[in-house]
Amino acid sequence: SVSGLAAKDFLLRSIEVKMAANQHIEEAIAFQSEALSPLQPEEAIRVPLIEKKEKGKTTAQLFTIPKERFRAHLNALEKLGIDPDVVSTVPSALCRFIDWKFPDLMGAFILDLGSKEITCALLEQGKLKKSYSLSQGVEDLLLALHEDRKKILLKEEIEGAAKQIDLLLLKSGLNPHLSEKLNEMRQELARVRQSLSKGSVLPIIFTGRSDSFMHL
- For the stretch 126-185, pLDDT in tens is 999 999 999 999 999 999 999 999 989 888 999 999 999 999 999 999 999 999 999 999
Collect contacts of 145-150 with beta carbons under 8 A, ≥24 apart: 145/175, 145/177, 145/178, 147/177, 147/178, 148/174, 148/175, 148/176, 148/177, 148/178
CA distances from 162 to 71, 141, 144, 208 (A): 37, 9, 11, 16
Tell me the average pLDDT of the chain.
89
Residue 62 is predicted with a pLDDT of: 85
The stretch 102-115 carries a mean pLDDT of 96
Q: How far apart are CA 200 and CA 48, in angstroms?
A: 26
Whole-number CA gyration radius for the chain: 21
Beta-strand (E) ranges in 7-126? 11-18, 44-54, 57-66, 86-89, 108-113, 118-124
Residue 1 is predicted with a pLDDT of: 87
Max Cα–Cα distance, the chain, nearest Å: 71
Rounded to 5, what percent of the chain is helix, strand, coil?
Answer: 40, 30, 30
For residues 13 and 69, the model is more confident at 69
Residue 33 is predicted with a pLDDT of: 66
Residue 29 is predicted with a pLDDT of: 72
Residue 23 is predicted with a pLDDT of: 58
Q: How far apart are CA 33 and CA 40, in angstroms?
A: 11
pLDDT band per the 50, 70, 90 thresholds, residue 55: confident
pLDDT band per the 50, 70, 90 thresholds, residue 34: low
**pTM of the predicted structure, to 2 decimals:** 0.86
Other Cβ atoms within 10 Å of 176 Cβ, number: 13
Q: How far apart are CA 212 and CA 216, in angstroms?
A: 7
Residue 208 is predicted with a pLDDT of: 96
Is 214 within 8 Å of 166 (Cβ atoms)? Answer: yes
- Tell whether the model's pLDDT for residue 195 goes beyond 70: yes
pLDDT band per the 50, 70, 90 thresholds, residue 19: low
pLDDT band per the 50, 70, 90 thresholds, residue 198: confident
pLDDT band per the 50, 70, 90 thresholds, residue 22: low
